[in-house]
Amino acid sequence: MEIKICKSSEIPNKEGRLFEIKNKKIAIFRINDEIYALDGIFENTNIAEGKLNGYKLTTPYENIKIDIRTGEFVLAPENKLKIYNTKIKDDTIYLDS
């Protein structure tokens, strides 16, 4: 089942936004025409407010680096956030649930 999220143009390039989808907070990031989605809250922090450097996200406050393609923590790959599949159709982002 696909869930409509928003227009891809609503997420600025190289930034993320937090969405509540089926009672879960999910961070959606856009890098050019690529869309990545992962669990949006880590240790009570909205990771969509972090800074992207390529595909590496630095979380606010804790400064933990996470690869948004895999959800893996860069310095501790055994730790990871759940990732979600996404699609873009007609400039609209959909999340596979």
Distance of alpha carbon 5 from its chain centroid, rounded?
Answer: 12
Give the model confidence (pLDDT) of 70-80 as tens digits: 999 999 989 99
pLDDT category at 43 given cuts 50, 70, 90 is confident
Phi then psi for 11, rounded to 5 degrees?
Answer: -110, 115
Q: What pLDDT score does 97 carry?
A: 73
Fold of the CATH domain 2-96: Rieske Iron-sulfur Protein (2.102.10)
Phi then psi for 73, rounded to 5 degrees?
Answer: -75, 130
Strands 15-21 and 2-7: unpaired
- pTM for the full predicted model: 0.93
